[in-house]
Every structure is written in C-alpha cells, then in structure tokens.
C-alpha cells in the first residue's frame, strides 16, 4: 500500500509499505477520507507537538473513516464491508482511567499520528473493532472522517453543560470553533456568540449556526458583559483566553480547547469572585454514538465544512491550504 510518511520537519515522502494485518481484536479499514488537523500541521512544520517530538518516521492523520475489508480472528466476519468512522485511540482496558470511564486520559494511550503509532494518511489502517463505529448510508465518507473533530465538540459541550436556552461564547472560528457552534445549537443553545480576528472566519461561523460575531480587534471582549453560561476557547490565543473569562456569568464554565500558549495569566479574583469552573478538553470518550446521531439526523452538517480535497500525493498541499482563511476543512482521500 501507499503511505504518506513524515520523515522530519517539512519532509514528507510517499512510500510503499506492507498492508497491516489486524490483531485478533482489530479490523482492517480501507481509508476513505482523512481530515487535516492543526496537530498534523504542527508536526509537519516543527517536528513536534507540545511534549511529543518526532523520533522516527510517522504517518500523520487521525480524523478518518472508511470500509472494513478484513477482521482479526476474534471479530465477527460479518463486519467485512461495513462503512465505519474510526475512533483513533487504543487505551489500556485495565488502566485506572479506563476503569473510571475516562479512557481518553490513559497516560499509556496509543493514539493515531502520535510518535509510536501511525495514523491514517495511508491506504489501510487497523483499529480495535470496538473503535470502528458503523455509520449509516446517509453519512458520507468525509463526514465519517470528521466525526473526530465533532467528538471534540461533543466532549466540550458535556464539560460546558450546553443545554436548551444556553448562552455560549466561543473564541476562535476555525474548524473546532465552527463545529462547536453547530453542536451548541443542536443542544439547544439560544445564543452562540463567536469571536475571531478574521472577518472571513466570523462570516463563516454565522453560516454554521452562530447567532452573532465579535471582532476582538475593534471591540474589547471583556467589556461586552455577555453573561455567557459557558465560554469555550477554540483559539489557543492567550489574549482570547484571558478576555474570555470576563464573558462568563457568575457560576458559569470556561472550557479550554485550543492549543496555543503554554502558560496564560489567570485572573484569580474573577475566577474566585464569580465561582467559575475552569476546565480543559483532552480528546474525548464515548462520543461517537452521539456524533453519528447528530450527523445522520442533519443536526450537524460536516460535509459543508469541507473546503478542499486532496490525494495521498498532495498531503503537503493539504497542509499548505490551512494557511488560507477561506479553508475550513481540508480532506485527504488515500484512494486517489
């Protein structure tokens, strides 16, 4: 099979590799679509992401779906031919975190496209059978792949407590900000206010369910007195994080999703005086059934988020496309 392999910063090579064989509890998936994530771009640009550093050849890509073409000996053979969305993680079944139902926090997690575990920018990949989630016919290949960022938004919604009548403020109108706005509306939020320094991205967020948009360069977000039930940072920008705390009503929640500055000043008197709950998101757990239901019902539109499609030989072009403000979600199809 062909695989797009990261060899170092700005060094990608399409290689011929053996098709992987599924372990007893795994399935082999022919990959149909892979979304490009900011983490992929960071690895490509810098050879590292946070504490993870490239230590050898690595196949990137963790937002993926496709068709099961083979199964391990412990998996029902009737699953061959199923279209699936891949939950790209492999925790230990006996870790303390997994036993608490928080398997995403397992420190020994093997995760697609993190050094030590290849991702999905290749023609075939294996995954444990219970993390290959069947999708109905009305869900496209692209949407099957983009269940992963949707799962981030669902995990955010659960932490933030989105519910009917909520007022939500989201900093950042990139892919995660936009899909979180869609989830907020699907969960019944009455107001979804977004901010972004890019006018094009603010306009796009309004197309995907945001009810209003703020330009943080012309308005001081902290002076807007939004009284939000929940603030979600999907930007990673330290200034956006700090100003976002000021938008939250007493007793509200701030959820940090974006990856940016390693340290951000915390307005402790504000957090204490309003008794704010401040938390973060690290991937997701038990989100795929909800994600598939939201897409199949039409409550969330992932297909409309796709703004570019690339072949396996064009992964570097797909990464470059993310620098364009007109790009929302680029998708790689390894079949081409």
pLDDT tens per residue across span 55-105: 999 999 999 999 999 999 999 999 999 999 999 999 999 999 999 999 999
The answer to whether residue 101 is domain-embedded is yes
User: CA–CA separation, 314 vs 252, rounded Å?
Assistant: 44
Average pLDDT over residues 156-172: 98
User: CA–CA separation, 57 vs 191, rounded Å?
Assistant: 45
Same domain membership, residue 327 and residue 258:
no
Task: Please answer whether residues 231 and 249 qualify as being in contact, where contact means their C-beta atoms are separated by less than 8 angstroms.
Answer: no
Same domain membership, residue 320 and residue 223:
no
User: The domain that contains 228 carries what CATH number?
Assistant: 3.40.50.720
The answer to whether residue 264 is domain-embedded is yes
Write down the mean pLDDT value for the chain: 96
Q: Inform me whether the pLDDT recorded for 261 exceeds 80.
A: no
The answer to whether residue 41 is domain-embedded is yes
SS3 category, 286: coil
Same domain membership, residue 256 and residue 135:
no
Least Cα distance to 39 among 314, 258, 321 occurs for: 258
For residue range 304-322, what is the model confidence (pLDDT) as tens digits?
999 999 999 999 999 999 9
Same domain membership, residue 172 and residue 66:
no
Structural domains in the chain (count): 2
For residue range 108-133, what is the model confidence (pLDDT) as tens digits?
999 999 999 999 999 999 999 999 99
**Strand ranges, E, within 97-162:** 110-111, 124-128, 132-134
The answer to whether residue 197 is domain-embedded is yes
Residue with token string 């420190």? 107
Same domain membership, residue 138 and residue 15:
yes
The answer to whether residue 292 is domain-embedded is no
User: CA–CA separation, 247 vs 230, rounded Å?
Assistant: 8
pLDDT (0 to 100) of residue 81: 98
User: CA–CA separation, 209 vs 191, rounded Å?
Assistant: 9
Confidence band, pLDDT 50/70/90 cuts, at residue 264: confident
Q: How many CA atoms lie within 13 A of 308 on its CB side?
A: 20
The percentage of residues in the chain with a pLDDT greater than 90, rounded to a whole number, is 96
The answer to whether residue 295 is domain-embedded is no
Same domain membership, residue 176 and residue 275:
yes
SS3 category, 150: helix
The answer to whether residue 31 is domain-embedded is yes
Count of other CB atoms within 10 angstroms of residue 90: 19
pLDDT (0 to 100) of residue 336: 87
User: Domain range spanning residue 255?
Assistant: 153-280
- pTM for the full predicted model: 0.96
The answer to whether residue 289 is domain-embedded is no
Same domain membership, residue 134 and residue 81:
yes
Same domain membership, residue 12 and residue 130:
yes
Same domain membership, residue 270 and residue 169:
yes
Same domain membership, residue 136 and residue 6:
yes
Same domain membership, residue 132 and residue 39:
yes
User: The domain that contains 6 carries what CATH number?
Assistant: 3.90.180.10
DSSP 68: E
Same domain membership, residue 262 and residue 206:
yes
pLDDT (0 to 100) of residue 51: 85
pLDDT (0 to 100) of residue 332: 98
Q: Inform me whether the pLDDT recorded for 260 exceeds 80.
A: no
């Amino acid at each position: 099979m062909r695989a797009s392999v990261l060899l170092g910063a700005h060094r990608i090579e399409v290689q011929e590799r053996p098709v992987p064989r599924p372990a007893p509890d795994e399935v082999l998936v022919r990959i149909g679509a892979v979304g490009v994530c900011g983490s992929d771009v960071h690895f490509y640009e810098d050879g590292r992401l946070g504490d993870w550093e490239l230590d050898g050849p690595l196949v990137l890509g963790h937002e993926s779906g496709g068709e099961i073409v083979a199964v391990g000996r412990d998996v029902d053979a009737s699953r061959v031919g199923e279209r699936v969305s891949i939950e790209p993680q492999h925790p230990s079944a006996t870790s303390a975190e997994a036993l608490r139902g928080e398997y995403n926090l397992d420190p020994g997690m093997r995760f697609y496209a993190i050094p030590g575990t290849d991702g999905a920018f290749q023609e075939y990949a294996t995954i444990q059978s219970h993390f290959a989630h069947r999708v109905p016919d009305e869900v496209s290949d692209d949407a099957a792949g983009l269940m992963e960022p949707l799962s981030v938004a669902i995990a955010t919604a659960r932490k933030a407590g989105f519910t009917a009548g909520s007022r939500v403020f989201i900093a950042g109108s990139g892919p995660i900000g936009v899909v979180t706005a869609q989830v907020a509306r699907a969960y019944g939020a009455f107001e979804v206010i977004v901010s972004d320094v890019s006018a094009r991205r603010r306009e796009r967020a309004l197309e995907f369910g945001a009810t209003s948009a703020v330009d943080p360069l012309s308005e001081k977000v902290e002076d807007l007195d939004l009284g939000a039930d929940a603030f979600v940072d999907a930007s990673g920008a330290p200034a956006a994080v700090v100003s976002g705390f000021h938008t939250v009503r007493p007793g509200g929640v701030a959820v940090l999703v974006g990856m940016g500055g390693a340290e951000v000043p915390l307005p402790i008197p504000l957090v204490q005086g309003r008794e704010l709950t401040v938390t973060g998101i690290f991937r997701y757990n038990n989100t795929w059934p909800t994600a598939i239901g939201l897409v199949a019902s039409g409550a969330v539109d992932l297909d409309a988020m796709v703004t570019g499609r690339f072949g396996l030989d064009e992964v570097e072009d797909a990464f470059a496309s993310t620098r364009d403000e007109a790009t929302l979600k680029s998708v790689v199809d390894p079949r081409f």
